[in-house]
Amino acid sequence: MVGRPGLSTMPRRTGEFARIATFFAPLTAGFSGALGLRDDAAVFAPTPGSDLVVTTDTIVETVHFVGDEPAALVARKLLRVNLSDLASMGARPCAYTLNVAFPDKIDDGWLADFVSGLEADQREFGIALAGGDSVSTAGPVTLSITAFGEVASGAALRRTTAKAGDLIYVTGTIGDGALGLRGLRGRIDGLDPSLAEALATRYRLPQPRLGAGQALCGVASAATDVSDGLVADLGHIAEGSRVAAVIDAEKVPLSEAARAVLARDPTCLETILTGGDDYELVFTAPPGARDRLEAIASETGVALTLVGVIEPGTGVRVRGRGGEDLSFRQSGYSHR
Amino acid sequence: MVGRPGLSTMPRRTGEFARIATFFAPLTAGFSGALGLRDDAAVFAPTPGSDLVVTTDTIVETVHFVGDEPAALVARKLLRVNLSDLASMGARPCAYTLNVAFPDKIDDGWLADFVSGLEADQREFGIALAGGDSVSTAGPVTLSITAFGEVASGAALRRTTAKAGDLIYVTGTIGDGALGLRGLRGRIDGLDPSLAEALATRYRLPQPRLGAGQALCGVASAATDVSDGLVADLGHIAEGSRVAAVIDAEKVPLSEAARAVLARDPTCLETILTGGDDYELVFTAPPGARDRLEAIASETGVALTLVGVIEPGTGVRVRGRGGEDLSFRQSGYSHR
């Protein structure tokens, strides 16, 4: 590794220490394991009898966000997509590390807003900053979060453990995030502004289903979160578990806003089922779990909706209103 | 967070799954907790009675590396600087996560070389890939590693626990990394090529002192790794522990190559003591630990050299040959 004259070597940066002390160290409040970001690493004790769950996501300006959004929203969505992965494993969030690469244009105002978003979500989800790294870049803002959670030993929900005969459920409503993005791109006409705003909010600020995920440990047979789209993510369960998944499009729970969009333009069904950015959970459970699932829905306040069944075979089938298979292509869906 | 038409949403990318399966999944071999990179998160069980140690570093092309180095070296140095942080806490490495943001120019050849470097160091240091994320960027290659280690509960070495009367030691030799960088920049004339190469290798491929770090648990009173430079990093111990550190420049252990450079140009002492990129350990221990330190040096094969003493007060003093204080400035050092 050869440095150029004038380039800094590995982890140093003028002003980095001050920036960390001013903006990031306060995010460790209440989490002694962060050592105030003043040591070489974070140190914390996992709860005895628990497994550690670790997930990480990176987002890049102009690829994953435009760059003119409020910095607080960028921060919160990044944290929440990681929390959604913890939710899908049934884990309780503990702490996270943050890696930031900032170009010179990032000023203290942007940074303060970014940190305020993290602060808000740390309070909401009971998680604290454990450590991180802050570096310069000549390129776009690049942000990574690695989130740590805990789950009772051996109890983590997996994608690979669905069985034929299990029923398929989803939390909340499906399609709002993708429709929200579509609306923000100006590709939904004539929707009531308050409904359009509701969809946009689902896209901008997903709601990780942490309570439901934890409650589903020992009840669900398999789970994942819906980030790539319901069909694709259910496909991960089907492929990982070596089974087929069959869902009824009519049973997929929709918000009022999504129903309004779909009523005006039935081709939006593809966006709803394949668009992604839902950050709901899709999971399987044996038929005998029905009473426990009703109790979990009641306790967590999160709707759990039966949408299909696991069968022997491979792949994902989506049945339409008349029982026919729907097939989705990039530019629309068609009956086959 | 508003997406632009044509921009992908959060964690998707064409070809990402194939790239992960082909290049990164093999790096999880032997580490079942990675779940083959096919689930939402990694799950692993910390050893009962141990604390988890977590550290993370980000490097950016053109800031931390030029971009035309062998990709394997970029990978290995990134992993090793993280391992050095684990070493400085006395932790045993377990696993790591990897976040990569690649521009289009990164082809499979580069990626294969990058992965081969990680493979080599995974074998050398007994660590495996647990998870990660791979995204596109329109900017420079941006790489983060988050490394996980374990240490007996409560035994992690800290920066903040040095006491007046403790002695100050360093592992190995100091200054080689910074001199290696200086040589690579063409700023060392007339050095024997084999010595120049030895220095360059120390810069390119640091040797994390994991064995020594683990052996120092319960013996050293405080420790950190030398990444910013001996004076700066010892300053972190002094500041964190609210003590003064006094070292003798003459006692700082130098390699044959560093001695040759210093003999030709005494002003290189500043580079040696403040240049950084050593990834040695600097630590403190009470005088009574001498016999145990000798045993550790013998068992680990790593030299432990007494360089100074902790005193009441603040800051770092470096004494010259005649007992005078040396002071270092950006453009050289001077007696004061």
Same-domain check for residues B227 and B131: no
Please name the residues in contact with B35: beta carbons below 8 A apart, sequence gap of 6 or more: A158, A160, B41, B42, B43
Per DSSP, A243 falls in state -
CA A81 from centre of chain: 3
- Residue-level pLDDT at A15: 63
- Residue-level pLDDT at B8: 32
Interface membership of A197 toward B (CB under 8 Å): no
| pTM as predicted | 0.91
Q: Distance from B171 to chain A by nearest Cα, in Å?
A: 17
ipTM confidence score: 0.90
> Which residues of chain B does A214 touch, with a Cβ-Cβ cutoff of 8 Å?
none
* Total beta-carbon pairs less than 8 A apart between chain A and chain B: 291
Query: Does residue B10 lie within any of the structural domains?
Result: no
| CATH assignment at residue B308 | 3.90.650.10
Chain-chain contact of B41 with A142 (C-beta, under 8 angstroms): no
pLDDT digits (tens, 9 = 90+) for A53-80: 999 999 999 999 888 889 999 999 999 9
pLDDT over 60 (residue A4): no
One DSSP character per residue, B238-295 reads: HHHHT-EEEEEGGGS---HHHHHHHHH-TTHHHHHHH------EEEEE-GGGHHHHHH
Residues B53 and B88: their CA atoms lie apart, in Å, by 11
- Give mean pLDDT, residues A309-334: 83
Same-domain check for residues A125 and A207: no
Same-domain check for residues A182 and A301: yes
Same-domain check for residues B188 and B323: yes
Phi and psi torsions of A269, nearest 5°: -55, -35
Domain boundary among B152, B180, B201: B152
With beta carbons less than 8 A apart as the criterion, state whether B31 and B128 touch.
yes
Q: Which of B88, B99, B277 sits opposite A144 (nearest CB)?
A: B99
With beta carbons less than 8 A apart as the criterion, state whether A153 and A50 touch.
yes
Query: Does residue B277 lie within any of the structural domains?
Result: yes
Query: Does residue A328 lie within any of the structural domains?
Result: no
How do A304-311 and A316-319 pair as beta strands? unpaired
Chain-chain contact of A69 with B225 (C-beta, under 8 angstroms): no
With beta carbons less than 8 A apart as the criterion, state whether B187 and B196 touch.
no
Residues B248 and B232: their CA atoms lie apart, in Å, by 15
Q: Which of A54, A77, A139 sits opposite B97 (nearest CB)?
A: A54
Q: Distance from B123 to chain A by nearest Cα, in Å?
A: 21
Residues A11 and B140: their CA atoms lie apart, in Å, by 17
| CATH assignment at residue B108 | 3.30.1330.10
Same-domain check for residues A72 and A207: no
Cα separation values, B280 from B202, B224, B229, B283, Å: 11, 9, 10, 10
Query: Does residue B51 lie within any of the structural domains?
Result: yes
Same-domain check for residues A180 and A312: yes
Residues B47 and B45: their CA atoms lie apart, in Å, by 6
Interface membership of B62 toward A (CB under 8 Å): yes
Interface membership of A235 toward B (CB under 8 Å): no
Interface membership of A272 toward B (CB under 8 Å): no
With beta carbons less than 8 A apart as the criterion, state whether B253 and B280 touch.
no
Nearest chain A alpha carbon to B204: A1
Please report which confidence band the pLDDT of residue A227 belongs to, taking 50, 70 and 90 as the band edges.
Answer: very high
Same-domain check for residues A177 and A265: yes
**Ranges of H-type helices in A89-229:** 108-125, 176-184, 193-204, 210-216
Nearest chain A alpha carbon to B71: A1
Please name the residues in contact with B292: beta carbons below 8 A apart, sequence gap of 6 or more: B219
Starting at the edge strand found earlier in the chain, the sheet holding B142-152 runs: A42-44, B50-60, B142-152, B92-102, B128-136
With beta carbons less than 8 A apart as the criterion, state whether A281 and A225 touch.
yes
Same-domain check for residues B300 and B183: yes
- Residue-level pLDDT at A11: 38
Query: Does residue A3 lie within any of the structural domains?
Result: no
Same-domain check for residues B85 and B113: yes
Per DSSP, A265 falls in state -
Chain-chain contact of B146 with A56 (C-beta, under 8 angstroms): yes
* Strand partners of residue B315: B244
Nearest chain B alpha carbon to A152: B45
- Give mean pLDDT, residues A239-268: 97
Same-domain check for residues B39 and B80: yes
Cα separation values, A282 from A23, A214, A234, B35, Å: 37, 14, 7, 19
CA B137 from centre of chain: 26
Cα separation values, A137 from A159, B62, B275, Å: 37, 8, 22
Query: Does residue B334 lie within any of the structural domains?
Result: no
Half-sphere exposure of A117 (CA within 13 A, CB side): 20
Interface probe, candidates B8, B24, B54, chain A, greatest A C-beta count within 10 A: B54
With beta carbons less than 8 A apart as the criterion, state whether B314 and B245 touch.
no
- Residue-level pLDDT at B30: 82
Residue A205 CB: number of other CB atoms within 10 A? Answer: 18
pLDDT over 70 percentage in chain A: 93
Residues B233 and B162: their CA atoms lie apart, in Å, by 13
Cα separation values, B203 from B81, B176, B182, Å: 11, 7, 10
Please name the residues in contact with B160: beta carbons below 8 A apart, sequence gap of 6 or more: A35, A38, A39, B222, B237, B240, B241
Query: Does residue A330 lie within any of the structural domains?
Result: no
User: What token pair was written down for A178?
Assistant: 């993708």
Each residue's pLDDT expressed in tens, for chain B with a length of 336 residues: 333 333 333 333 446 777 888 899 999 988 888 887 888 899 988 899 999 999 999 999 998 988 888 999 999 999 999 999 999 999 999 999 999 999 999 999 999 999 999 999 999 999 999 999 999 999 999 999 999 999 999 999 999 999 999 999 999 999 999 999 999 988 888 889 999 999 999 999 999 999 999 999 999 999 999 999 999 999 999 999 999 999 999 999 999 999 999 999 999 999 999 999 999 999 999 999 999 999 999 999 999 999 999 999 999 999 998 999 998 874 334 333
One DSSP character per residue, A8-39 reads: --TT--TTHHHHIIIIIGGGGTT-GGGGGG-S
Same-domain check for residues B53 and B145: yes
Look at A230 and B34; give whichever has higher pLDDT: A230
**Ranges of H-type helices in chain B:** 16-19, 71-88, 108-125, 176-184, 193-204, 210-216, 230-241, 256-264, 268-274, 290-300
Query: Does residue A290 lie within any of the structural domains?
Result: yes
Interface membership of B71 toward A (CB under 8 Å): no
Interface membership of A77 toward B (CB under 8 Å): yes
Q: Which residues span the domain enclosing A57?
A: 16-152
Same-domain check for residues B145 and B203: no
pLDDT digits (tens, 9 = 90+) for A135-187: 999 999 999 999 999 999 999 999 999 999 999 999 999 999 999 999 998 88
User: What token pair was written down for A30?
Assistant: 């209440």
Q: How many domains does chain A have?
A: 2
